[in-house]
Amino acid sequence: MYLTCSNSHQMVASQYMIEQAKTILKDVFGYEEFRALQQEIIENVFRRKDTLVIMPTGGGKSLCYQIPALLFKGLTVVVSPLISLMEDQVQQLTALGIEALVLNSTLSYDAYQNNIARLMRNEVRLLYLAPETLLMQKTLAMLSSQQIDCFTIDEAHCISEWGHDFRPEYRQLIEVRKRFPQAVCMALTATATPRVQEDIRQSLCFEASDNFIASFNRKNLFLQIVQKTHPVEQTLEFLQKFPNQSGIIYCLARRQVDELSEVLTNAGFSVKPYHAGLSDHERQQNQMRFIRDDVQIMVATIAFGMGINKPNIRFILHYDLPKNIESYYQQIGRAGRDGLPAHCLLLFSYGDIQKVKYFINQKDEHEQRIATFHLNTLVGLAETDECRRIPLLSYFGEHYSVSKCGMCDNCTEEAQALVDVTIPAQKFLSCVKRTDEIFGAGHVIDVLRGSQAQKVIKNHHHALSTYGIGKEYSKKQWFYLSRQFIQKGLLDQDMEFGSLKLTPKAWEVMRGNQTVFAKLTVSQEKHTEYEETEHAFDSTLFELLRQRRKKLADDANLPPYAIFPDKTLIEMATYFPQSQEHMLRLHGVGLVKYEKYGNLFLELLCDYCQKHQLEDQPKRTTVPVVTSKPKTLTKPRHIVVGDKNNAGSTLTELREEFNVKLSTILDHLYKYHTEGYSLRHSHEFLELSTLSPERRIAASKAFDQFGTERLKPIFDALKEQVNYHDLHLFRLYYLTKPGTS
């Protein structure tokens, strides 16, 4: 109907629509505000423009089609690849009083007929289907008698052969789409790869302008990477911080999953295992228990996580190294979908790298190169001393311009002073030399600390002049130092065997021509502050509310989050609402939910508050103004670096002066440039890169075409043949080359 309106009519209609969408947001879903891009997307869909939505997991994609579905007169058809996801959605929508249903082949005859009858009576707003079901003749025939206003393709990356989850049936959706030309089409995915995005657009004939790409920064995830020293103890210690909360522990191997779940069960934690070696039944049971909060912790291989929508996962622990940054991001992305803080800890060890390396070596040469590249970027993320979001987001081609996120270990640990460790470095390096550069750090440290280990004696290393000259540091400290020596380019580590070799730079240090600065103390895992500040609520009351929710959920055969999300309970335990009016102000409390469950919670609240003499503290509905932090008086690092570059310092000099990696200097310079300062052209931008002349031409063209903001499109355009380090260098060359304004 909006297509036939005049322009001014359209404007009025569109404003009216926005108002209605906001009312639905509050009254039905119980949410105060739209999240980033949601409103724009809804408006676009409502203008009947095909829309591609790229948002990270937890970004709030579902609302983008669910709200239009409530505004459209006709039906919204949603195609989704996983039955469990569809059923979860329908349960949640039903709990909100929205008419939604799933049609699939596992329904009984009666249930199926009943659903069709509801559809025919126009009672249904959203119909969820697997592509196979949609493509069946009888489904298509049935739909042809319906007015379909919106055709939604969820998990749209399944359409692309470049994606990680290609489904051939998805390819045929374009035909279905043509059958319903009046329906606006929406495609949604959390896949960040531009190649896949392009594929979706092309397959569905979308216009380029109707893309909505949200940032992939998940602000509420606290990122931490520590060295794996005593994994079991580290795990136990970590879990202490999350009593009664849900989380996932990822392990590489099934055996590890079984062992660790046994250890944790014996230690009194509520744990279930999940891996492909268990029977279907057992896997389903364990997953269900987790979703329903009957079990708190899943110890799992990567087989776990697809198709679960649980919003209140509070931690992800990577017991082993993930395969690459993409899987790391996907796995941590399962935490904190509800927007509350969640903690992601990765235990990182060079031993694990060797395991991965071993698997890589089984592959063919081309695959090996790609896998090695992925591994190295992951190691880069682990070793960085900058904000972890910088390398993480840059992997997805996103430039993270805040220099401290405040939500990763590197940003919250007090900056540790660098101390002069030239002498210990000399000791370590000469010990590497004297043991013939064929051993890993562990053995070198044993020799330095005068260990009686068999390996030392057998190799006659107790007779070396470096034997026992390093007793002043603990084993842990030496390990920490040795990693920094590698990072600083004094040592090369053989990826396969872990053995250490001296670099030319090491010789400079041993000859006394160069000093070495490093950190001495190993960073401690610690409680982050947000945990204490964000959770200033009555925890006894919260527990009681949780128990009530659990009972209601079990009675209704629903997961607890379908009754109310955790955030709602936290708000109840913060504001002590004791009336309908105040209850309706809370996050997640819409009219239907209030009618269904409001009184049951009010009862409990009134009782508790009376007993403890707690007063209702009505939640203010306007968003409080955040007072800005005092500005720091020192110049930001990127400005200092940029100014020095302009004053003539070379990249190598800058690197040494600031004692950081070249990539860090490049990031500073790029940031300097993006903030509008002009940057001196340096011949090193080309010299330090390994680009051949042909590749330079290709890279220039790609930058001409895709712009310089994101590197991922360039990386893809160059067929993944040029590494990011070179791209960072070349981008600076491109931006500053003589003749460019």
With DSSP H G I counted as helix, E B as strand and the rest as coil, what are the percentages for the chain, rounded to 5? 50, 10, 40
The structure tokens listed for 550 are 């659990």
Residue 338 interacting with ligand ADP (CB under 6 A): yes
- Is residue 6 within 8 A of residue 568, CB to CB? The reply is no
In whole angstroms, how close is the CB of 39 to ligand ADP at the nearest point? 9
Which residue, 130 or 393, is less far from Zn ion as judged by CB?
Answer: 393
Choices 56-64, 343-351, 534-542, 636-644; region in contact with ligand ADP by CB under 6 A? 56-64
Q: Name the phi and psi angles at 407, rounded to 5.
A: -130, 30
Residue 152 partner contact from Zn ion, ligand ADP, none using kind-dependent CB cut-offs of 5 to 8 Å? none
The answer to whether the beta carbons of residues 251 and 301 sit under 8 Å apart is yes
**Phi, psi values for residue 399, rounded to 5°:** -90, 120
- Would you count residue 60 as binding ligand ADP (CB under 6 A)? yes
Q: Toward Zn ion, which CB reaches closer, 571 or 667?
A: 667
| CA 135 to chain CA mean position, Å | 33
Nearer to ligand ADP, 60 or 273 (CB): 60
Using CB under 6 A as the binding rule, the residues of this chain from 560 to 589 that contact ligand ADP are 565
Among 21, 24, 28, 31, which residue interacts with ligand ADP (rule: CB under 6 A)? 31
Distance in Å, CB of 390 to Zn ion, minimum: 8
34 touches, from ligand ADP, Zn ion, none (C-beta below 5 to 8 Å by class): ligand ADP
Q: Does 59 bind ligand ADP (CB under 6 A)?
A: yes
CB burial of 113-144 (b: ≥16 within 10 Å; e: otherwise) equals eebeeebeeeebbbbbbbbebbbeeebeeebe
Kindly state whether residue 393 participates in binding Zn ion, applying the rule CB under 5 A. no
- Distances, alpha carbon 306 to alpha carbons 216, 309, 677, in Å: 19, 9, 45
Residues contacting residue 128 through CB under 8 Å, at least 6 positions apart:
78, 80, 86, 89, 90, 100, 101, 102, 103
Residues numbered 266-325 forming contacts with ligand ADP, rule: CB under 6 A? 309, 311
**DSSP three-state, residue 348:** strand
Report whether 381 contacts 325 (CB < 8 A).
yes
Q: Which is nearer to Zn ion, 118 or 637 (CB)?
A: 637
State the nearest-atom distance from the C-beta of 98 to ligand ADP, in Å.
13
Please report where in the chains the tokens 């209704």 appear, as a residue: 556
Residue 411 as a binder of Zn ion (CB under 5 A): the answer is: yes
Stretch that binds Zn ion, among 82-90, 290-298, 408-416, 517-525 (CB under 5 A): 408-416
332 binds Zn ion (CB under 5 A): no
The contact pattern for ligand ADP, residues 199-238, with x = CB under 6 A and - = no contact, is ----------------------------------------
Minimum CB–partner distance for residue 62 and ligand ADP (Å): 3
Q: How many CB atoms are closer than 10 A to CB 358? A: 11
Candidate list 21, 63, 347, 586; residue touching ligand ADP; CB under 6 A: 63
To ligand ADP, the closest distance from the beta carbon of 156 in angstroms equals 12
Q: Which range binds Zn ion by CB under 5 A, 69-77, 304-312, 411-419, 539-547?
A: 411-419
Q: Minimum Å distance from CB 218 to Zn ion?
A: 12
Supply the minimum distance, in Å, between the C-beta of residue 56 and ligand ADP: 7
Q: Could you tell me which of 457, 452, 409, 462 has the C-alpha nearest to residue 431?
A: 462
Q: Contact, 59 vs 190, CB < 8 A?
A: yes
Residues 465-494 that bind ligand ADP (CB under 6 A): none
Q: Residue 411 binds which one of ligand ADP, Zn ion, none, with CB within 5 to 8 A depending on kind?
A: Zn ion
Q: Which two tokens stand for residue 127?
A: 């119909």
DSSP 461: G
Task: Single out the residue of 143, 186, 375, 408 in contact with Zn ion (rule: CB under 5 A).
Answer: 408
Q: What is the DSSP letter of 406?
A: S
Torsion from C-alpha of 15, 19, 24, 27, nearest 10 degrees: 180
Tell me how far apart the alpha carbons of residues 425 and 423 are, in angstroms, rounded to a whole number: 5
Instruction: With CA atoms as reference, report the closest residue to 195 among 715, 625, 647, 726.
Output: 715
- Report, in Å, the least distance between residue 631 CB and ligand ADP: 31
What's the number of CA atoms in the CB half-sphere (13 Å) around residue 304?
32
Residue 438 beta carbon to Zn ion: minimum distance, rounded to whole angstroms: 38
Minimum CB separation of residue 587 from ligand ADP in Å reads: 7
Residue 63 binding result from ligand ADP, Zn ion, none, given CB thresholds of 5 to 8 Å by partner type? ligand ADP
From 34-42, 121-129, 324-332, 418-426, span contacting ligand ADP (CB under 6 A): 34-42
CB of 387 to Zn ion, least distance (A): 3
* Single residue of 21, 28, 58, 287 touching ligand ADP by CB under 6 A: 58
Task: Identify what 397 binds: Zn ion, ligand ADP, none; CB under 5 to 8 Å per kind.
Answer: none
Stretch that binds Zn ion, among 45-53, 377-385, 399-407, 662-670 (CB under 5 A): 399-407
Select 331 or 484, whichever has its Cβ closest to ligand ADP: 331
Alpha helices in 96-128 (DSSP H): 109-120
Shortest Å distance, C-beta 217 to ligand ADP: 14
Relative to beta strand 184-189, strand 491-493 is unpaired
Residue 549 near ligand ADP by CB under 6 A: no
- Is there binding between residue 62 and ligand ADP (CB under 6 A)? yes
CA 453, chain centre distance (Å) = 43
Site size with ligand ADP, rule: CB under 6 A = 17
In the numeric block, which tokens belong to residue 381? Answer: 């993320």
- CA dist 221 and 411 (Å) reads 13
Work out how close the CB of 560 gets to ligand ADP at its nearest, in angstroms, rounded to a whole number: 13
How far apart are CB 325 and Zn ion at their closest, in Å? 16
Asked if 153 and 204 count as a contact pair (C-beta separation under 8 A), the reply is yes
**Which partner in ligand ADP, Zn ion, none is near 247 (CB below 5 to 8 A by kind)?**
none
**Rule CB under 5 A: is residue 381 a binding residue for Zn ion?**
no
223, 344 in Cβ contact below 8 A?
yes
What is the per-residue burial (b if ≥16 Cβ within 10 Å, else e) of 259-295?
Answer: ebbeebeeeebebbbbbeebeeeebeebbeebbbbeb
Least Å from the CB of residue 90 to ligand ADP: 13
C-alpha torsion 254→218→204→145, nearest 10? 90
Which range of residues in 5-13, 50-58, 226-234, 271-279 is near ligand ADP by CB under 6 A? 50-58
Contact 297, 246 (CB under 8 A): yes
The binder of 387, among Zn ion, ligand ADP, none, by C-beta within 5 to 8 A per type, is Zn ion
Nearer to Zn ion, 393 or 411 (CB): 411
Give the one residue of 101, 124, 387, 735 binding Zn ion; rule: CB under 5 A.
Answer: 387
The torsion region of residue 309 among left (phi > 0), alpha (psi -120 to 50) and beta comes to: alpha
Q: Which residues, at least 6 apart from 278, have a Cβ–Cβ distance to it below 8 Å?
A: 286
Residue 408 interacts with, from Zn ion, ligand ADP, none (CB under 5-8 Å by kind): Zn ion
Helix (H, G, I), strand (E, B) or coil at 249: strand
Q: 534 or 704, CB closer to Zn ion?
A: 534
Q: Is 405 in the site for Zn ion (CB under 5 A)?
A: yes
Residues forming the site for Zn ion (CB under 5 A): 387, 405, 408, 411
Residues forming the site for ligand ADP (CB under 6 A): 31, 34-35, 38, 55, 57-63, 309, 311, 337-338, 565
